[in-house]
Structures are given as C-alpha cells and as structure tokens.
Structure 1
Amino acid sequence: MAIWVVSTIATFGSLFFSEIMKFEPCKLCWLQRIFMYPLPIIVGLAIIRKDYNQIWSFLTLASIGFVISVYHNYIMLFPPELGSCGRVSCTTDYFHLLGFITIPLMALIAFIIVIVLCIIGLKMDKKSTFIVGENQE
C-alpha cells in the first residue's frame, strides 16, 4: 500500500507541475514519467488482485527511473556546456523549495522511497500489510 501512495503522489505531483503550473517537462522528465506513471496502476491492480508476486516489476520500473533521475540531478548540478537536450533544457530550474529542492530531486526521492519500500517488501512476508494492505493471519 505504501508503494502505491508514494507513486500516486509522485504521479499527481508531476501532473500538477506540468498541467497546473504549466512547467513544460524536458526529455529526461518524460523518461522518468514513463517509469513512474505505470506504478500506481500496476501496484493498485496488485493490491486489488492480492497478487503478491509483482514486487519485482515495481522494483524494476523504479530502478530504471532512479538511474535516469540520478543522471538528471547530476546535470542539474553540473550543467554540460553542450546546451539543451531538447526543446526544454534538462537543466531548466523551474522550482526551488527551501532553496535546494528541485523537481528532479523530488523525482529522485520518490524513486528512492519506492525502491526502499520494494526491498523491505521483499524481505517481509508476501502477505504483509506494508506492501499490499492485507492483514496477516
């Protein structure tokens, strides 16, 4: 259940920034979305179906998104001299929370949380309330 909450918040957060705040996503943001957006759906379906074997799928999506996000945060900190990676530069800084939290950093944090929750879930019983929201008996 916790994985679903985090991925849903991350998905709606990115939609808020692009659709409400009108911040146009760069190519790396789109790539990260490709790996975050399916998570609320497939995690939600796993919860509904009580399918406890899908955690590897969640971990795979989050891990690929994590790698992209690490690179995105790296080029935000150390912009390449080559210029833009597309119509919107991947180093465009739309938003700063508390002076250092950027949109790419928020995405990175979301991927890290999902990965940590997946790893914890793999170490716990498959019918744990932590992962799928069902009580153990």
Structure 2
Amino acid sequence: MPDAATARSETLLFLAFVIALGATLGALFIGEVLGQMPCVLCWYQRIAMFPLVPLLAVGLWRGDAAVKTYALPLTVAGLVVALLHSGLYAGLIPEGITPCTRNGPSCSDRALMSVLGIPIPYLSLGAFAAIALCLIVMKGKRS
C-alpha cells in the first residue's frame, strides 16, 4: 500500500499530465479545427507543451516521479515564453521588440486570441504555471 507522499506524487503527476494533455488538445483544436494560425510566441509555447504529454505519460505509466527532472526544464521554458506573451498581450511589453510583428498573426491581436472570453496567452500561462507547481511540489522517487 503506497504511503501518503507517494499517493500525493501520483496525483500531482496525473494532474500535470491532464493539464498538458488539455492544453495540447486545445491548441490543436484552435489551430486545426477553428483554423486560427498561431503566432510565433504560440509556436514556441507549443514546442514546450506538446512533448510534455508523452513525457509525463511515460513517467505516470512507469511510476517514476523523477520525470520531473526532464519535464521541469520544458515547463519553465514554456512558462517564460507564456509570461512574455502575456505581458505583450497586456500591453506591458512594446510589440516592436517581439518576433510577432514580421510574419504571421500578431501576438497581441485581441480579435483572434480568446477562448470563452479568456485570452489564449493567459490560458497558456496558467497551464504552464500549474504544471510547474505540480512538478515542484512532487516529492521523492516512486518505484
């Protein structure tokens, strides 16, 4: 019978996996079904989010909490880009210094960037922050 710390780690790892899966499916739905072309910063966030799904799934399947060693760098990288994107969307960062002004859609276009009234940059920031929190709080190595 697993102890409380192991059960908590399993729950946190499962939660991180579900968040990453939901964010990945949401991004694919927005791009492929709704036809919204992602901006440059959205692509960078996808690069960080998409591999988290199989990575966390394997860690969950193998019962290995050490997966956070591999998942946390991707999560932090995505979190940094999502923070930059959210700052740009909020108007805290001038649009001229971002890669979104050259090719593709603007990273701060308010018309294209919301799901149920919540801006996509904020959803991404929340997903990366929640995954990071789950991974940081996880304790120990499971067998």
- Evaluate the alpha carbon distance shift between residue 26 and residue 46 of structure 1 in structure 2; reply closer, same or farther with a 3 A threshold: same
Cα displacement string for residues 94-132 of structure 1 (whole angstroms, at most 9, x for unaligned residues):
143565x201110000000001101111xx3433xxxxx
TM-superposed deviation, 1:53:
1.4
Identity of aligned residues (%): 31
Q: Which runs of 5+ in 2 are unaligned?
A: 1-13
Higher relative contact order (CA 8 A, sep 6+): 2
**Number of aligned pairs?**
125
- Whose helix proportion is higher, 1 or 2? 2
1:115 pairs, out of 132, 137, 141, with 132
C-alpha distance in structure 2 between counterparts of 1:13 and 1:97, whole Å: 9
1:75 pairs, out of 71, 88, 93, with 88
C-alpha distance in structure 2 between counterparts of 1:68 and 1:114, whole Å: 15
User: Are 2:17 and 1:19 aligned?
Assistant: no
Compute the TM-score of the two structures, normalised by the length of structure 2.
Answer: 0.79
Tell which deviates more after alignment, 43-52 or 111-120: 43-52
Contact 2:75–2:132, Cα closer than 8 Å, also in 1: yes
RMSD (CA atoms): 1.9
Off by >2 Å, runs of 4+ in structure 1: 49-52, 79-83, 95-99, 124-127
TM-superposed deviation, 1:48:
1.8
TM-superposed deviation, 1:14:
0.6
Q: Which runs of 5+ in 1 are unaligned?
A: 128-133
